[in-house]
Every structure is written in structure tokens, then in C-alpha cells.
Chains A and B, each alone.
Chain A
Amino acid sequence: MSCDALREAIVETGRGQEVGVGTAAAVETHVAHCRACAVRLERERELSAGLRALASDASRNLGSSELEQSLIEAFRERQRPARRAAVRAWIPMAAAAVLLVGAGLWLSRSGAENRTVEQPQLARTARDPSPGPITQASKPATVPLQSRADAAVTKTRPHRNLRPRPSRFVAAEGFVMLPAAANLPPFESGEIVRMELPVTSLPAYGLEIAHDARRPAVEADLLVGQDGQARAIRLVNSARLQPNQ
């Protein structure tokens, strides 16, 4: 092989790099007969040794000892704003969630109010529960409720434990105060909850209804106070009530 062909191989051999068995043999053979390349190879080896010594000498250099601490501090400091930013990123999301929930509530309530609009007499009855055909045995149910309900926001929404049954049209009936409500705190605000009651349970609410075998249950509105306790009841539509006296 010529000197030029082996030039790179001589450098790599001088650096102590693997050049392959064939190339190494070619270099060895060549430098054995070529004085110039032998000198060149020797210089490459000496240069590599010098550079290794330089690297070894520099290997003890590690730079400033304070750098580590300051960088680690910087790293931690960098993470703090990142965490704060993460928290800040949650704020609009949380706000959006609150708005969504609020909007949902508002919609559900406005839906309920719409139902109330569809049931004007019901709402009016709640605020102005003028005595209807239903009367309570001991005292008029509407009198104590009226004054409280005037100041109260009356809402209609499903109760957790009761099954509401929406009706397209509700005829107003007077509320009858429940006997159990006599000892409850004054009514301040509440809800009207519609539910279906077995006819046989009505006496327990202080009501009686003409027995009709075809109607084992009747729809009733319960006026539930601010504490979740029912204050009064009225039957819906055509149920004919009689005081339970």
C-alpha cells in the first residue's frame, strides 16, 4: 500500500484506535519499509501520549465548588414557579368548573321556575296559601305559613328522598299544616315537593280522602321548610279531601 492510502490508518494507529486486523498488518508492514511513515507513526503516538497526559492533568480540574450549590438552588427555585404556575393553571379551570356547576344549578332552577310558571297556581299557592277546600282540623294551615312564605324564596325542585312526578297542570289546593310541624322552627323558606302517597297513609298527615278503590295513591305536594322538614301538605287535582278531625 502507498503512504497516502495508509495516512488515515497511521493516524488512527497512533491514536491507539482499532483499525482492523488487516489494516493494522498493512500499517505494520508499511512502516517497516517506509522511514517517513515510521517517523510519522511515532510522532502520532507521542502526540497521543502528550494529549493523554494533558487530559489526565486536567482531570483534576472540577471548577468552582460553589457552582454546584448555586445551580441546585437555581434548579429548586426554577421548580417553585413551575409549581405555582401549575396551581395558577388550575385556577381558571376551577373557576370554569365552578361556573359550569353554577350555570347548571341556575339552569336547573330556572327550569324549575319554568315549571313553576307552568304551575302558576302552585307557586302562588305557596306564597299565598289561601285556604281552599282543605282545612286542618285544629287550625288553619295557611295562616302561619303565609307570613313566613311571603319573605321566603319558594323553590320547586326534586327532593332527594322523594320521587317527583311532574304534571302538566296543577290545580291549586290549600296546604294543610302537618300536625308534626307544630313544634318545628318557624318556616322561613322552603320547597314544594311533589310526590305520590298511598291513600292509606293520608290520615297520618292529618288528611282523609274519600276512599276510591281505583286510586290507591294520590299525588300530593309537600311544603318542605329550610330545615328539610315537611310543614304542610296538599293534595293535587281532584283528590277530595276531608279534614281529619
Chain B
Amino acid sequence: MHSDAPPDDQLLGRIATGDADAFTALFRRRQGNVYRFALHMTASPAIADDVTQETFLAVMRDACRFEPGRATVTAWLCGIARNHVRRRLERDRPLQSLDLGTDNPDMDARLATDDDPLGDLTRAERLEALRDAVLTLPLRYREAVVLCDLQELSYADAATAIGCAVGTVRSRLHRGRALLTRKLTTPSEKEKPQQSASGVNQALRIVRSARNLA
């Protein structure tokens, strides 16, 4: 962010008075946070788009309701997005797909353009395994992992977004991470034989590889 750029809460104040430029500025600055949160939560770019739209429509309506001292704008936006994500997941539960590969051709194409195609494929697979593991977390743990570890919100901001106590966020995050570790280190019955055979070591290789890429 440019140092001269007005802070988020100032932009929200201007949006409340009908300033279209402020709305544009906030959208450009925070759209990614909202979109990625929704994408991590649902694995669906279409839903993430819808949630982003709904969130910023809510900003148009409710900018004046933001309380600057209570939370950051990002946390506030994530809280709105969270509600829409939950509503959407509830509504689309029978149709929900966890197959990001079929739902996100842009990402696949982008991953395939790197220098090392074989390495990229492995990397993509490993990231997909981790992404799938996140997506299979129960919602309350997924929210905590996405907000705290993927969106890098503080416990306080995540608590605001979720609407619970900081201690609850911390315990949900720790529980979610424990479940993730278990999912990644314990082969499920659905996994292919060669994957099952590799066991814990392969799962660890996945995260090690991801770590090296980070």
C-alpha cells in the first residue's frame, strides 16, 4: 500500500458518504482478501466471485456500521464474507465439489507455465492435496485455519470475523491444524494404493516440498 493512501477505515467513512472513488480504492485493495478467503473456504471460483460481490454490496449498504476501534476493515470484510460463504455452503451443500482442478482451469494453466513442468506438476499435486485437506476440515476449524494461517489475520481479527472469543479461535486453529496433520500423515481409505503405501513419509514430503516453495 502506498504510504499516502488513506487507511481502510477512512475509505469506509468516505464510502458511507457516497464517495465512489473511495469504494473503488477499497475494492482494489481488499477484493483479493475477500476473494481468497471465499476460495479457500469453498474451492469454487464462482462462489468466491459471488461472495466477493455480496460482500462489497454489503459494504455499500453498511459502510456506516463499521466501528474502527473494534476491528480492522479486513476482519470486518472477512466476517461479512464468512456469513455469505456459510450461507452459500449451506444452500449448495448437495452440489458442493471439492475438486478444485475441474473448477479452476486458470490456476492449472498458470501452474503449468513454470520452468520445470514435472516439478510443477508435483508441486501442484501437493498443493492440491493440502488444499483438499483444508477443504475437508469441519467448517469451524476450516475458518480458523483459513483466517489465521492462510489470510494471516491475528487471533483478535479472526475472532471478530468469526464472532467468537480469541481463545476459541486459538483452540479451533490448533484443533484444525492437528486434523490437517493427521489427514496429511494418515492415508485414507479412498487413496490410491501407491499413495497408501507411501504413508506418512509421502505426506511429509508434500508439506516439505511446499515449504521449499514458500
Contact = CB atoms under 8 A, between A and B. Distances in A.
B49 A63 contact: yes
Interface stretch (A71-79, A150-158, A202-210): A71-79
B36 A58 contact: yes
A43 B211 CA distance: 11
A58 B127 CA distance: 10
A106 B110 CA distance: 79
Given A58-B36, A72-B20, A75-B23, A47 B177 contact: yes
A227 interface: no
Given A58-B36, A63-B35, A68-B31, A75 B20 contact: yes
Contact of B214 (A43, A52, A58, A76): A52
Nearest to A52: B214
Contacts of A102: none
Contacts of B111: 57
Interface in A44-58: 44-58
Contact residue range for chain B?
35 or more
B151 A50 contact: no
Nearest to B28: A68
Contact of A47 (B32, B35, B207): B207
B contacts with A: majority SS: helix
Interface in A74-128: 74-76, 78-79, 82
A86 to B, nearest CB: 10
Given A51-B149, A54-B210, A76-B20, A43 B204 contact: yes
A61 B53 CA distance: 15
A15 interface: yes
Contact of B27 (A46, A55, A72): A72
Contacts of A74: 57, 60
Contacts of A7: 174
B45 to A, nearest CB: 7
Contacts, number: 125
Nearest to B17: A79
B53 A67 contact: yes
A43 B181 contact: yes
Given A8-B170, A51-B130, A64-B49, A58 B40 contact: yes
Interface in B173-214: 173-174, 177, 180-181, 184-185, 204, 206-208, 210-214
Given A8-B170, A46-B211, A61 B204 contact: no
A162 interface: no
A56 B185 CA distance: 23
A194 B170 CA distance: 89
Contacts of B131: 54
B139 interface: no
B68 interface: no
Nearest to B36: A58
A73 to B, nearest CB: 10
Interface in B12-53: 18, 20, 23-24, 27-28, 31-32, 35-36, 39-40, 45, 48-49, 52-53
Interface of A: 7-8, 11, 15, 43-64, 67-68, 70-72, 74-76, 78-79, 82
Q: Which 3 A-B pairs have the closest CB atoms?
A: A49-B211, A50-B210, A53-B210
Interface of B: 18, 20, 23-24, 27-28, 31-32, 35-36, 39-40, 45, 48-49, 52-53, 56-57, 60, 107, 110-111, 126-127, 130-131, 134, 145, 149-152, 170, 173-174, 177, 180-181, 184-185, 204, 206-208, 210-214
14 contacts: A8-B170, A11-B174, A11-B177, A43-B181, A48-B149, A50-B126, A51-B130, A53-B213, A54-B130, A54-B131, A63-B49, A67-B52, A72-B27, A75-B20
Given A52-B149, A58-B36, 7 more contacts: A11-B174, A43-B181, A47-B207, A49-B208, A49-B212, A63-B31, A67-B49
